[in-house]
Amino acid sequence: MGASAPTPPPPERDRLLDQLLAALLAADQVAAQSVVDRALKLGWSADGARFELITPALHEVGARWERGEIGVADEHLATSVCEWLLITLAGRLRRPRTTGRRALVGCSEGELHTLGALIVANLLSEHGWSVLFLGASTPVDAWRAVVGARRPDLVAVATTRADRLGQVGPILRAIRAARPQCRTVVGGQAYARVPGAVPDVGADLVVVDARELPGRLAARGTG
């Protein structure tokens, strides 16, 4: 099972997506896992399951929560099942030999949406990076401290809420002050939410679609 492969055909994708959504709304971890297993048996890649199933299913869960069709606890349960799916998916893949490059991945201050960052962390691991994953909301001073102590070559900062974008500039400046040679990449739904141009927060790279990340890093000689 490779990490990346061609996009699955739409009818099959729609059917599996419906099944995954039903499993998530029922908070049925076993059923959700079997949908992902079916996709992999059909030849989908891990990235196919991440980007064509799990991500859109969670976006739909959010839309239903926003419309008041499901409660906060339903959304929490769906999220915890997806976290499980993402971790088991990453655990199945054979990782390439590490290249010695170190990446630090986390969320900007105040940001509690962690699954996008988790996907980025897994993706980088599968492309040979040694990855440190910070999880949710890391304050500016803590970014400075961890970058100084752990000396990453790349830092990826995830932001989902557009109203949290103001926190990203100070984080990037703290990273540069701690380690000037460290490259920075930012991404997450916040960058897609702002109408018009993708906001410039001062990162080396802005990547809205995580699938493009390995290629974009390689094109800059960072991958």
**Which token pair is 112?**
């509690």
* Min CB(137)–ligand B12 separation in Å: 7
- Return the residues of window 133-192 that contact ligand B12 according to CB under 6 A: 156, 158, 160-162, 185-189
- Return the residues of window 105-124 that contact ligand B12 according to CB under 6 A: 110-117, 119-120
H-helix segments, the chain = 10-25, 29-41, 46-48, 55-66, 72-92, 115-125, 140-150, 168-178, 189-193, 213-219
Which CB atom, from 1 or from 133, has the smaller least distance to ligand B12? 133
Using an 8 Å Cβ cutoff, are 88 and 49 in contact? no
Of 16-24, 95-103, 174-182, 206-214, the window that binds ligand B12 (rule: CB under 6 A) is 206-214
Using an 8 Å Cβ cutoff, are 134 and 171 in contact? no
- Return the residues of window 29-88 that contact ligand B12 according to CB under 6 A: 51, 55, 58-59, 61-63, 66, 75-76, 79
Start-to-end C-alpha separation, the chain: 22
Residues in touch with ligand B12 (CB under 6 A): 51, 55, 58-59, 61-63, 66, 75-76, 79, 110-117, 119-120, 156, 158, 160-162, 185-189, 193, 207, 210, 213
